[in-house]
């Protein structure tokens, strides 16, 4: 029963962290004035550059952590299904969380910079910042709860 709950929680953690990460990228993009995109199509150069850099950050972090886990597993001779769960689910979840957190940080820095320079301030929809932060807080709290639950169940 605990094993099934651990696997299920890990799956939820993966999807929640992916959703929170994607949300942060969308907010970062919208703050820069790019409200719609075409996935797999042609987009503004700023959006394409953001996505390219994000793919590098996400996959770079994921690969480095996977290699580190492989080395630890080989050295400690502790290959188990839990190690596989960490490799398959938790490391990508961690990478989504870290890169999503970096996206949130970049957004907050851009907001701070824009507030300092009122002459270049972009008009956002009313309550955009408040709604963006409340929604993000909800997703990141869910990621935190699921991460703690998965760690506790393991």
The Cβ of residue 29 has, within 10 Å, a number of other Cβ atoms equal to: 21
Percent of the chain with pLDDT over 70: 88
pLDDT, average across residues 10-22: 97
**pLDDT interval class at 88 (50, 70, 90):** confident
Reported as a single tens digit per residue, the pLDDT across 92-106 is: 999 999 999 999 999
Residues 6+ positions from 154 with CB-CB distance below 8 Å: 6, 82, 85
Read off the tokens for 121. Answer: 């301030």
Rounded Cα–Cα distance for residues 110 and 25 (Å): 13
Q: Considering the entire predicted model, what is its pTM? A: 0.86
| DSSP conformational letter for 41 | S
């Amino acid at each position: 029963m605990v094993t099934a709950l651990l696997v299920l929680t890990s799956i939820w953690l993966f999807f929640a962290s992916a959703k929170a990460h994607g949300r942060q990228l969308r907010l970062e993009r919208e703050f820069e004035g790019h409200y719609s995109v075409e996935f797999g199509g042609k987009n503004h150069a700023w959006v394409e550059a953001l996505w390219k850099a994000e793919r590098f950050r996400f996959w770079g972090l994921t690969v480095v952590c996977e290699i580190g886990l492989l080395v630890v597993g080989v050295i400690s001779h502790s290959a188990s299904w839990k190690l596989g769960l960490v490799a398959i689910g938790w490391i990508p979840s961690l990478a989504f969380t870290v890169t999503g957190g970096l996206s949130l940080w970049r957004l907050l820095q851009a907001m701070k910079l824009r507030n300092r320079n009122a002459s270049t301030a972009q008009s956002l929809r009313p309550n955009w910042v408040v709604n963006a932060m409340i929604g993000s807080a909800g997703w990141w709290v869910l990621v935190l709860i699921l991460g703690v639950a998965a760690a506790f169940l393991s």
